[in-house]
Structure 1
Amino acid sequence: MASSQSLALALISAGLFTPCLASAADLGGRDLALEELSRYGDSGSLDQVTSISQFPDVRPTDWAYQALANLIERYGCVAGYPDGTFKGQRAMTRFEAAALLNACLDRVTEVTDELKRLMAEFERELAILKGRVDGLEAKVGELEANQFSTTTKLRGEASFILAGSPDFDSPLRASDGSRPARPNETTFNYDLRLVLDTSFTGKDLLRTRLRSGNFSSLPFRSGIFTLDKATGTDDSVEIDRLFYRFPVGESFNVTVGPLARNTEMLSFIPSAYKSDILDFFGLAGASGTYNKATGAGVGLSWRQQVEKGNPYVTFDTNYVANNGFADSSVGAFSSDSGINALTQLGYRGRNWGVALGYRYGTENSSLRNANFSSRVPDGGNNNSLSLAGYWSPIESTWIPSISLGYGYNWASGGLDDSQSWMAGLQWSDVGWAGNAAGFALGQPPFTGGENNSMLYELFYRFRVTDNITITPAVFYGSDVASNSGNDAWGGVIQTTFRF
């Protein structure tokens, strides 16, 4: 809408043109003289004002108050009567209305001329800016035309891991039985993840993840030193996630898929410790409850709807048959399918959270004990209960985030009851923004007799760019079951590229 049209509407809304505009003859003695009207827009007549507060008879509760204020402040073309009042309730003559409209249109013309002068002065800069915008639009159009999908985004993560554990001396033999395993050698491995995230409505998610890696079993793909990034696919590419998540109403999300992970169907993991090095310290000290069971699954998540920034309650429950991941001929609901039923009740604030978790596992379900690669034996079952929480400072200071977790496991079928715990401290922006450091200690599931291993980890994450990080870390374990009950230590230099 042109500025003159907007101004005319503003004048009407301000009550300057009323439904009962009177003629000069009707108003008689109340008419202003024509010569006085000719000077209506002149600053020397009729007490022109600069603020609406100068009118004692105009109140904020008046329906046209804001419109009149805009006319005064933006155009400065409204005047009062000699007695200082506006007289907004009285009728206007056509002469008065015409004179006032003429004065305001003159101001609009002045503003328009000023804008034209500015446009002429910055004509060169505006032309450059227009050229850049046109170029950007062309590039966006080319990108949209050449992208493989308008609904799918590709994310990738490649990790190069230089690692070793000098004191590791396992009696186990290589997988083909040809020679003793040599887990004490320094190795240089990789872990690659490619994620295709598809959304059809903007609120749903179809996730397909491809993964590849060349890790062998010990010491970093099984046992107490299992790394978070230690895939072993013999250099082939495998699909290790395939699920669909969609909302139901405002508070619920449903996840279903042939390759879903139980911990990824939770609203949150109750820990602020994120080293991405040893797997155990990423499970809130309760590897029995948060056992990362992956397979055919379905999950339901509920989140309390509150105002942004307020604490809220979450409830999650899911079902995963982890045997379906390795053997598609096994039924998803049969007794030997490795059923994991995980439930979590959580309470989360802006920088803290706490959760109570429970998992039930049937025979063949994942059992992340001190060896981190076991299954519940035939005829057995496993129950795991956990309580964990964390707190983080809102701003980066010398005070670290604090994470604590405890888990208890009881079972049948020849399994002993066990418990586990962890405590982790993590500092953000160490050295400079983006870097992080942390220290954690704890015990993977232990029975109170043998295998009462203590585990320690220390790391520093150096952020090279927004997409590249280098993380040196060292770790130590006492009475390591997968090392013939001896102590062991190790270290990694993990370089991660994200794109």
Structure 2
Amino acid sequence: MASIRQGLTATAVLGLLTPVTAAATELNLERVNHYARSQEQVTSIGQFSDLRPTDWAYQALSNLIERYGCVAGYPDGTFRGGRSMTRFEAAALLNACLDRITDVTDDLKRLMAEFEKELAVLKGRIDGLEAKAGELEARQFSTTTKLSGLATFVVGGVSNNPAGEQVTFNYDVQLNLDTSFTGKDLLRTVLRAGNFDGERNAFGGGLSTLEIAFQEEGGPDVLGIDKLFYQFPIGSQFTATFGGRVGQEDMLALWPSAYPSDTILNALTLNGAPLAYNKNLGPGLGLWWQDNGLSVSVNYVAANGADSSQGLFTSTSAGTSTVQLGYGQENWGLAAIYSYLNGGVGVPGATPFITAEIEEFGASTNAFGISGFWQPAEGGWIPSISAGYGLNRSSGTNLRTSQSWMVGLQWSDVLAEGNSFGMGVGQPAFATATRNGADTEKGVWAWEWWYQWQVTDAISVTPAIFYLNNPGGNQGGGNQVGALIKTSFQF
């Protein structure tokens, strides 16, 4: 009885393969793969909505499904028995059935002989793919680490700049190594080099500093470790971070801005509160809680934390203590932040007077900020809007209070899909009151306009211009105009 059933099964397979295109001479792997991906295994012939007991192959299909389970259908519940297929597709399906058959009858031998050539080609292709996969696996440098990179070229210049008005060509390159040991944790190592030197380059110092401008401590053109930290979840709502070189921004659950897609001036990328969002970098640790869009972040970074003469938790450690309360959804977010800055903390996006008071003369500062953003669901005439405001109070030096703000607009899919246009305006941190009452600053403004042309998924070209009004604050120096072309390569 068993041999009779097997013979019937083989006959059924031969019958099912009748509408095969006989003229096929080469393997169409794309069609075979598409066919395989679109199929879903069935356990009962009743799952097919387009089959009836009166169909000529109904009983044969029923036998194949119930005995061997090698018949599959489409996601919409149909079998589509009238559809033609190539001989290779038929061979692939036959191979699936043969894998489930243990006793080979004469009919099965005849069927295998009929498709011997096609089955041999399929087997050879599969063996070749397995060999290539094994070779790739043997050559990969790590099974737990992914490498990504960003290389940026900047050509441009700034008028009326102390560093000079010549056109320069600068670069920045970042190599990110992301390692996960559990699938949920992250060990991030960032290697970075660049030649934006504030003493030599207009884009590397003062308010004309670009966000991309990296200055390695060892000097320009020196490759070094920019960041090194470990991040891991605690339960389902907490995330902890610690590292020997971690940025304040790496330990915030929410970055409350959608501006810009391609950064230009650093002063306009700090959510309108550059002292609160100062991106202090050094040894640090932090913890955030997040649930249904609501988040609370607490972190501490000490720029001098690796220096035994300064320490990790002293008044000379150049430490920033931060608490942020935020709420964000897919297309909008809002956050309030408080940061306490010890003397010596580097403060981007501030006038030279404020920078000197905090970094060089050791003013301690209480910095507050509120920032938010909204962006449309689709690109069009309506831009995304990002805005923020910062208020600061300092002590220990001549600086007393300072403030800042910014607004950024960005349009998506401008002129072509994937391209963006944006503009930002605001006031970097400037002094509003001093202890001697003589050094307040007025008329410090920054504007920028840019267009990001997405050449490919990995290459973009961004021309930009910016204008700085009284960037020197009470130290004067005149207005500045900058123009540049930035080319970015992601890999």
- The alignment's C-alpha RMSD in Å is 3.1
Partner of 1:283, secondary structure, is coil
Matches within 5 A, 1:379-458: 380-414=363-397, 415-448=399-432, 449-458=440-449
2:40 paired residue number:
none
- Structure 1 residues 338 and 71 mapped into 2: Cα distance closer, same or farther (>3 Å)? closer
Return the alpha-carbon distance in structure 2 between the equivalents of residues 71 and 236 of structure 1: 65
Matches within 5 A, 1:191-270: 191-217=172-198, 218-232=201-215, 233-270=219-256
1:323 paired residue number:
304
CA drift at 1:110: 8.7
2:344 matches 1:364: yes
**Max Rg structure:** 1
Instruction: Normalising by structure 1, report the TM-score.
Output: 0.72
CA drift at 1:133: 5.0
CA drift at 1:328: 5.9
Partner of 1:366, secondary structure, is coil
Query: Which letter maps to 1:70?
Result: G
Return the alpha-carbon distance in structure 2 between the equivalents of residues 229 and 73 of structure 1: 59
CA drift at 1:72: 8.5
| Contact persistence 1:384–1:407 (CA under 8 A) | yes
Query: Which letter maps to 1:393?
Result: P
| Contact persistence 2:45–2:62 (CA under 8 A) | no
Partner of 2:203, secondary structure, is coil
Query: Which letter maps to 2:384?
Result: S
CA drift at 1:105: 4.6
What are the superposed Cα offsets for residues 210-247 of structure 1, whole Å, 9 maximum, x if unpaired?
11111221522221111011123321111110100000
Return the alpha-carbon distance in structure 2 between the equivalents of residues 125 and 188 of structure 1: 58
Return the alpha-carbon distance in structure 2 between the equivalents of residues 71 and 284 of structure 1: 57
- Structure 1 residues 71 and 387 mapped into 2: Cα distance closer, same or farther (>3 Å)? closer
Where does structure 2 lack aligned partners over 5 or more consecutive residues? 7-42, 72-80, 92-116, 433-439
What are the superposed Cα offsets for residues 271-324 of structure 1, whole Å, 9 maximum, x if unpaired?
1111311111111111011001000100101110x4xxxxx2011110000123
Return the alpha-carbon distance in structure 1 between the equivalents of residues 86 and 409 of structure 2: 58
Return the alpha-carbon distance in structure 2 between the equivalents of residues 357 and 253 of structure 1: 18
Query: Which letter maps to 1:192?
Result: V
Instruction: Normalising by structure 2, report the TM-score.
Output: 0.73
Aligned-pair identity (%):
44
2:269 paired residue number:
282
Partner of 2:153, secondary structure, is strand
| Range with greater deviation from structure 2 (222-231 or 286-295) | 222-231
Return the alpha-carbon distance in structure 2 between the equivalents of residues 161 and 212 of structure 1: 14
- Structure 1 residues 69 and 319 mapped into 2: Cα distance closer, same or farther (>3 Å)? same
Matches within 5 A, 1:176-195: 182-195=163-176
| Range with greater deviation from structure 2 (215-224 or 290-299) | 215-224
Return the alpha-carbon distance in structure 2 between the equivalents of residues 116 and 164 of structure 1: 65
Return the alpha-carbon distance in structure 1 between the equivalents of residues 187 and 44 of structure 2: 54
CA drift at 1:358: 0.6
What are the superposed Cα offsets for residues 152-190 of structure 1, whole Å, 9 maximum, x if unpaired?
11111111111201222x2xxxxxxxxxxx421111011
Return the alpha-carbon distance in structure 2 between the equivalents of residues 386 and 155 of structure 1: 33
2:449 matches 1:472: no
Return the alpha-carbon distance in structure 1 between the equivalents of residues 334 and 416 of structure 2: 30
What are the superposed Cα offsets for residues 48-95 of structure 1, whole Å, 9 maximum, x if unpaired?
xxxxxxxxxxxxxxxxxxx999378576449xxxxxxxxxxxxxxxxx
2:136 paired residue number:
143
Count of aligned pairs: 393
| Range with greater deviation from structure 2 (445-454 or 242-251) | 445-454
Where does structure 1 lack aligned partners over 5 or more consecutive residues? 6-66, 79-102, 171-181, 307-311
Return the alpha-carbon distance in structure 2 between the equivalents of residues 269 and 106 of structure 1: 61
Partner of 1:404, secondary structure, is strand
- Structure 1 residues 262 and 110 mapped into 2: Cα distance closer, same or farther (>3 Å)? closer
CA drift at 1:268: 2.1
Query: Which letter maps to 2:237?
Result: S
Return the alpha-carbon distance in structure 2 between the equivalents of residues 117 and 225 of structure 1: 66
2:56 matches 1:70: no
- Structure 1 residues 139 and 455 mapped into 2: Cα distance closer, same or farther (>3 Å)? same
Partner of 1:289, secondary structure, is coil
CA drift at 1:121: 7.0
2:490 paired residue number:
498
| Contact persistence 1:362–1:376 (CA under 8 A) | no
2:332 matches 1:332: no
- Structure 1 residues 281 and 128 mapped into 2: Cα distance closer, same or farther (>3 Å)? farther
2:324 matches 1:344: yes
CA drift at 1:198: 0.6
CA drift at 1:388: 0.8
2:62 paired residue number:
108
| Contact persistence 2:45–2:61 (CA under 8 A) | no
Return the alpha-carbon distance in structure 2 between the equivalents of residues 430 and 125 of structure 1: 51
Partner of 2:463, secondary structure, is strand
4+ residue runs over 6 A deviation: 110-117, 124-130
- Structure 1 residues 321 and 77 mapped into 2: Cα distance closer, same or farther (>3 Å)? same
1:295 paired residue number:
282
What are the superposed Cα offsets for residues 3-60 of structure 1, whole Å, 9 maximum, x if unpaired?
x99xxxxxxxxxxxxxxxxxxxxxxxxxxxxxxxxxxxxxxxxxxxxxxxxxxxxxxx
Query: Which letter maps to 1:250?
Result: S
